[in-house]
Amino acid sequence: MHEFFLPVIQNALRSKGIETSKQINIEQPSDKKFGDYSTNIALLTAKECNRNPRELAQQIIEHLVFPPDTIAKIEVAGPGFINFYLTPFFIMHYVEQVLLDGNEYGKGRIGEGKRAIVEYVSANPTGPLTIGRGRGGVLGDCIANLLETQGYEVTREYYFNDAGRQMQILGESVRFRYLECCGQTIEFPDTHYQGEYIREIAENIYNAHGVALANSNELQIFKNSAEELIFSSIKKTLERLSIRHDSFFNEHTLYTPDEAGITANQRVIDALRENGYIAEYDGATWFLTTKLGQEKDKVLIKSSGEPSYRLPDIGYHISKFERDFAMMVNVFGADHIDEYPDVIEALKILGFDTNRIKIAINQFVTTTVDGQTLKMSTRKGNADLLDDLIDDVGADATRLFFIMRSKDSHLNFDVELAKKQSKDNPVFYLQYAHARICSLLRIALQETGFDPAFSKEYNLLQLLTSPVELQLGFALLDYPDMIKTSLRLLEPQKMVEYLHSLAELFHRFYQECPIIKAETDICKARLFLSLATRQVLRNGFRILGVSAPESM
RNA sequence: GUGCCCGUAGCUCAAUGGAUAGAGCAUCAGCCUUCUAAGCUGAGGGUUACUGGUUCGAGUCCAGUCGGGCGCACCA
């Protein structure tokens, strides 16, 4: 709707000779008595023009020219708001558009011809996925879905490292458990991975090789089989939540020399050095972030000769620029917050357009069981496993729980409540609306023989004039704006909120308006409205990755 | 100590700087002989942690105070 109002208001301002740097906001008032849409442009520009806002608003109104039959009423209200009321004709005409567009309804074109990359999950294969990782995974998947609705060609990427110190410890952990299988008594170090899955991997190896590996100090086989098993279990877990990646980027490629015999890491060092941001001291190679006003320089190459995580991170992002992505979204948990500024600074120094990079940070998930908050750690093996949660509450509820809160808020996951499978579960409310519509359409077909999907009598929609019908129609028309807002904020939670209010309106409509029992034309019109509602629910569910059951 | 996030109803959370701060759960009172009651209608419940500031207007922005979470390695 923004596109609908914007040019008209701009024209009115121009013909009044008003120049303003202020942005024209079109918003929905919290209360319907202030109109369907509203703008505060008169309030914003009054001071610049040295005018009374209400007077100014009145004069702007006189110059507004809308297409016929679209706006029922325009008024000045309060301190100087301009409020717009849509005609019932316009609303119902738009519902028709929902039916015509079908699965395409809500799509936009701002990303057409552009490539975007979303990086998410990116857990190293040291253990099964935890609930905390799940939140980022679902968030990333939904953001990728949102980007696709706007025409972006999206790459879903998983960045991982199977070479570092943690993998070494993983291999050793498995070896210790294996030795236990062989009958040895081991003092298992606190620093190592204590999860039950390590034993299982060790038992697998024991079953395959017996005691043959007990006297070797070779870690490779333990590390490799652990990595293989853990990675496949991670992928399986993600699959259960319909989270998929189409690109796996191994950090190790940044350590591998190219045709010229130079590694990506080395190129980063060389380029930063050329710009005067590299120095060697204390045996290490440093990124001189003190020159950028930070307290300390940051190590890029440790005195051992190995790069720290920052160096490949920079190289990794350069690879995204080289792959020519117009938008790069990084999704990660709050514990990774501090690594970002350095990477961005380095990229700026090297002349990259860092505005293309968007960071979506999700706050932590705390789980409460019996009112007790649990602290999680993969290494201690007491983490809440994502798989267990999916077992308990199902994939739909898991996904919805993760995105029904703003990513900036700590998510309090009450495991007991989620396990209940009761009607308290918010996912049921949304899905029930969809199932209800499906049932309605089935019965309508049976009893009246009318199938709205194969009829084009859309003009019948104009018969619907009751407040709840118009409110429902209006909500449908708001869907495309909702997607854009959600994407701009990288916040799928907005979609959940919207779909909830849409479901609520439908339930009310269903309660107040007899549909199959209504007179023929009214019945048809209400079935059209129901069908359009189902379409928007479906389209929204697809973005959230929640299933749309035909019956419940 | 310091960087980021958060503090809103009994609980979990909403509210692109807008008009009377809203949902769900919980509590209470109604609505199924009628298209799915996993639903609908209504009631109660608030000094938006605190103190200042910015402006036509602040839960929202700024400064400070208090409280909670996450970081602050030559780990990733």
pLDDT at A414: 77
Per-residue confidence band for A44, with pLDDT thresholds at 50, 70 and 90: confident
Q: Which residue is nearest to nucleotide B39 (CA to C1')?
A: A507
Q: Are A148 and A238 in contact (CB under 8 A)?
A: no
Instruction: Identify whether A126 is part of a domain.
Output: no
Instruction: Tell me which residues from 113 to 152 on chain A have a beta carbon below 7 angstroms from nucleic acid strand B.
Output: 124
Instruction: Identify whether A206 is part of a domain.
Output: no
Q: Are A60 and A68 in contact (CB under 8 A)?
A: no
State the angle between helix axes of A53-62 and A2-15 in degrees (0 to 180), rounded to the nearest 10. 100
pLDDT at A335 over 90: no
Number of domains in chain A: 2
Q: CA(A409)–C1'(B68) in Å?
A: 12
Does strand B come within 7 Å of the CB of A284?
A: yes
Q: CA(A122)–C1'(B40) in Å?
A: 45
Taking 3-state DSSP, the helix, strand and coil percentages for chain A, each rounded to the nearest 5, stand at: 55, 15, 35
Amino acid at A353: D
CATH of residue A502's domain is: 1.10.730.10
Q: Which nucleotides of B are covered by protein (CB under 7 A)?
A: 3-7, 12-16, 18-26, 34-36, 38-41, 55-57, 68-76
Instruction: Identify whether A213 is part of a domain.
Output: no
Q: CA(A444)–C1'(B33) in Å?
A: 21
pLDDT at A94 over 80: yes
Q: How far apart are CA A522 and CA A515, in angstroms?
A: 8
Q: CA(A26)–C1'(B74) in Å?
A: 53
Q: CA(A390)–C1'(B48) in Å?
A: 35
Q: CA(A422)–C1'(B29) in Å?
A: 24
Q: What is the ipTM of this complex?
A: 0.94
In this predicted model, which residue has the larger pLDDT, A358 or A412?
Answer: A358
For A373, list phi and psi in degrees, rounded to 5: -85, 130
pLDDT at A150: 96
Per-residue confidence band for A116, with pLDDT thresholds at 50, 70 and 90: very high
Q: Which domain holds residue A75?
A: 2-86
Give the strand pairing for A357-362 and A298-301.
unpaired
CA A359 to chain centre: 11
Does strand B come within 7 Å of the CB of A243?
A: no
Q: How far apart are CA A356 and CA A327, in angstroms?
A: 5
pLDDT at A370: 59
Nucleotide nearest to A434 (CA to C1'): B36
Instruction: Identify whether A513 is part of a domain.
Output: yes
Last residue of a domain, one of A52, A86, A120: A86
pLDDT tens, position by position, A496-535: 999 999 999 999 999 999 999 999 999 999 999 999 999 9
CATH of residue A66's domain is: 3.30.1360.70
Please state, in angstroms and as integers, the Cα–Cα distance from residue A160 to each residue in A80, A252, A373, following that order: 55, 9, 30
SS (H, E, C) A201-245: HHHHHHHHHCCCCCCCCCCHHHHHHHHHHHHHHHHHHHHHCCCCC
Instruction: Identify whether A494 is part of a domain.
Output: yes
Rounded percentage of chain A residues whose pLDDT exceeds 70: 96
Does strand B come within 7 Å of the CB of A375?
A: yes
Instruction: Identify whether A21 is part of a domain.
Output: yes
Q: CA(A351)–C1'(B75) in Å?
A: 29
Last residue of a domain, one of A68, A86, A104: A86
Strand partners, A368: A373, A414
Instruction: Tell me which residues from 294 to 313 on chain A have a beta carbon below 7 angstroms from nucleic acid strand B.
Output: 299, 302-304, 306, 308-309
Instruction: Identify whether A411 is part of a domain.
Output: no
Instruction: Identify whether A119 is part of a domain.
Output: no
Last residue of a domain, one of A57, A86, A115: A86
pLDDT at A40: 92
Q: CA(A508)–C1'(B31) in Å?
A: 13
Does strand B come within 7 Å of the CB of A50?
A: no
Phi-psi bin for A106: left (phi > 0), alpha (psi -120 to 50), beta? left
pLDDT at A482: 94
In this predicted model, which residue has the larger pLDDT, A53 or A268?
Answer: A268
